[in-house]
Structure 1
């Protein structure tokens, strides 16, 4: 039976009900959300973000989506959980927010907009709702998104499975080239191949595939280039004696996961093994510390302290991790400055790392669900030294 990516009308009704309860508590009569991820979360509508506004508007009794004419049929096809309000074009003779304002003619209550909204749009909202009692920012939906519903966790698990599969496919591509004795693939060739394979798998095994930006992709960086975090794939070929980082992920039903492993091409040297041992233990400690009731900061402090105590503090360049949901990076932040209390249903990455200049980077990353019984790593690709030598 095919895996369904669709979150049905019942799910969005639950989301809308929760938003309305929070609006009532905050004294908000109309809430406006315009970021791509908020629109996906509240309506199931995925679109290619451009300068044309797409805005979700919700009141105590209705849910609406402001869209340009070119998205009308697209929205209908996706069976969105909102009533369309259509404007023709941007910037428009008839301005998009003027069209939105007329749809709520005579509105005099409190209008709120997401913290993620463009500041340039705030004056347009104020002009469109000139009779409103107040126009204020609100983060109620961002707070909702911290904890995932079971329907969303199901999508994250499938994304995690496919992310592990992407790593497996990338390793096999390198291994196959080594068997044949020919040239080894480049970073960009590996990234392109695994992304195509993941998308092919989705279309073969899933129904109702939600097409989103960043459906399946990642970072592949090897040798000295792996010492640059988030190194974009280049034509740099994989080389025997070097290490390579495969940082790969995808979004299923608009929900993200990522799997990242460091591999050695051929037997690693003693220095490479020492570096990897520190990164391995730091990541194990970080994941184990993602416990409900503790803070995000506590996990970051623990793992980074271990790296510093191991004498490799100079190779630290970033935090332990970040939240994942509709976006690959979203709150909460697993970092010393974030005192958010971890709760069951939150999903974060666990990816402390070290980066040795002019030599190599070493990073292992998992997608971890905060659960009642302890951290639940949804990505499980092996990471012991014997498992990550490609020979």
Structure 2
């Protein structure tokens, strides 16, 4: 699961160049995703902070709670590591960091935009004389995936597509047997369990920053709520059903989302489904090098507007995916980021009709010089997503 040392060497060299351009002496990583990206160390985020010092020149330094020391060794972390006893500690984590940085050049320290005000105050007090500056140096490095990362996303995509098939099969089996159909929460538990089991079956060492597999499941009127949580409602014949699933290998995420219809679709269901499928196709094809996120989003959602469904649009076309399932860039009118090779994006326009249902099709798309390439491949046509109990 660990990427080769050459990957981390390349990342650090590019970060050094970025810090030099910004007149920063180093970058202080404070989030699981940034720490994993820069060192390959994965940890569970708790109240105990982890601090990674990435100097513009010289060797990195990792400050971790003592209880994670063995875990870091198991992950074959090669950077210098300093531990602190406990949180909040007689000697705080920030004081431990400051002592370890003593004698190093720390005039201007870059930090990520997500650093909390409380953590900023503690660090500023501990590292006296240093100026902590918000920077996008690491965020920019993460925008385009490195070649070594792509196979991990591809592996996650295969598992995510299998999760969709497992959810569909659970419902189809119940229809075929004539038994009670599963609840939304039961479907969610089933697909998440399937994805998690596949990870542990395929890999000797499983690591992640947030989760291995996740799923939102909503049917009928509930599916008109884009971020609604699964309920105890049982799915039923005639329902529109959204399976919104994600999976990550070495915390390299993908999304694969599909809309299903249980039983013969009505004319209304066909209309909404086909409009969303067309928008997703157009939007995906628009994800080309040189286009801006804003242009792609407008072109995608204009398809829905052209079908008279503008009032049923609830969100942007998509977002970036990487070590987090939602990260920059944002495929939305307010983001003028120019698409470049290696960017990994979700393409997930949706139609949400209050009181009726929602329709969303999502793929994880890799931007390449040759054009957009879907990593997820579960069928998108309506005929393939009608669930019936025929054996």
Question: Contact 2:33 / 2:209 at 8 angstroms: preserved in 1?
Answer: no
What is the alpha-carbon distance in structure 2 between the residues aligned to residue 83 and residue 118 of structure 1? Answer: 26
Mapped to 1, the partners of 2:197 and 2:48 lie a distance apart of 30
Among candidates 254, 257, 263, match of residue 257 of structure 1: 254
Could you tell me how far apart the structure 2 residues matched to 1:107 and 1:375 are? 45
RMSD: 1.2
Task: Give CA deviations for 1:196-222 in whole Å, capped at 9, x if unaligned.
Answer: 111211222223322442211110100
Compute the displacement of 1:123 (Å): 2.1
Structure 1 match to 2:245:
248
Give the Cα separation in 2 of the matches to 1:246 and 1:313. 23
Single out whichever of 226-235 and 99-108 deviates more from structure 2: 99-108
C-alpha separation in 2, matches of 1:312 and 1:27: 49
* Normalised TM-score (structure 1): 0.96
Which residue of the partner structure matches residue 303 of structure 1?
300
User: What residue number does 1:336 align with?
Assistant: 333
- Inter-partner Cα distance in structure 2 for 1:209 and 1:35: 19
Q: Give matches, 1:274-313, under 5 Å.
A: 274-313=271-310
> Counterparts of 2:302 and 2:370 in 1: how far apart (Å)?
25
Corresponding position: 1:113 with 2:111: yes
CA distance in 2 between counterparts of 1:6 and 1:296 reads 32
Q: How many positions carry a matched residue from both structures? A: 386
Unaligned runs of 5+ in 2: none
The answer to whether structure 1 residue 362 and structure 2 residue 359 are counterparts is yes
2:19 to 11, 18, 23: 23
C-alpha distance in structure 1 between counterparts of 2:110 and 2:308, whole Å: 49
CA distances 1:325-377 after superposition (whole Å, capped 9, x unpaired): 00000000000110000000000000011100011000000000001111101
**Aligned residue in 1 for 2:372:** 375
Question: Shift of residue 241 of structure 1?
Answer: 0.7
- In 2: Cα distance, 1:186 partner to 1:46 partner: 34
1:180 is matched with: 177
1:299 Cα shift? 1.1
CA distance in 2, matches of 1:135, 1:259: 39
Q: Which residue of 1 aligns with 2:319?
A: 322
Which shows bigger deviation, 377-386 or 71-80? 71-80
Residue 268 of structure 2 is aligned with which of 265, 268, 271? Answer: 271
- Offset at residue 38 of structure 1 (A): 0.6
Q: What secondary structure, in the 3-state scheme, does the structure 1 residue paired with 2:371 have? A: coil
Could you tell me which residue of structure 2 aligns to residue 101 of structure 1? 98
Distance 1:205 1:51 in 2: 31
User: Using the alignment, how far apart are the partners of 1:23 and 1:64 within structure 2?
Assistant: 16
Query: Which stretches in structure 1 are left out of the alignment for 5+ residues?
Result: none
- CA–CA distance in 2 between the matches of 1:14 and 1:106? 26
Q: Is the 8 A contact 2:210 2:251 kept in 1?
A: no
**Deviation digits for residues 132-167 of structure 1 (CA, Å, limit 9, x no counterpart):** 3x3322110000000000111111111111111100
Asked whether the equivalents of residues 225 and 352 of structure 2 are also in contact (C-alpha less than 8 Å), the reply is yes
How many Å separate the matches in 2 of 1:244 and 1:282? 19
Question: What CA distance in whole angstroms lies between the structure 2 residues aligned with 1:44 and 1:266?
Answer: 46
How far, CA to CA, are the matches of 2:10 and 2:204 in structure 1? Answer: 23
Separation in 2, partners of 1:114, 1:246? 33
Please give the alpha-carbon distance, in whole angstroms, between the structure 1 residues aligned to 2:132 and 2:255: 38
Partner of 1:66: 63
Deviation at 1:81, TM superposition (A): 4.1
Per-residue deviation, residues 97-148 of structure 1 (Å, max 9, x unmatched): 111011111345322212221121222222222133x332211000000000
Q: Encode CA deviations 1:299-320: one digit per residue, 9 max, x unaligned.
A: 1101111211211111110000
Aligned equivalents of 2:229 and 2:111: distance in 1?
35
Aligned residues of 1:12 and 1:81 also touching (Cα < 8 A): no
* Contact map agreement 1:98 1:128 (CA 8 A) in 2: yes
Establish whether residue 38 from structure 1 lines up as the match of residue 34 from structure 2: yes
Q: Which residue of 2 aligns with 1:9?
A: 5
Cα deviations across residues 77-108 of structure 1 (Å, max 9, x unaligned)?
11124221111111111111111011111345
Q: CA deviation at 1:25?
A: 2.2
**1:146 paired to 2:143:** yes
- Cα distance in 1 for residues equivalent to 2:332 and 2:100: 43
1:30 deviates by: 2.3
Aligned-partner SS, 1:150: coil
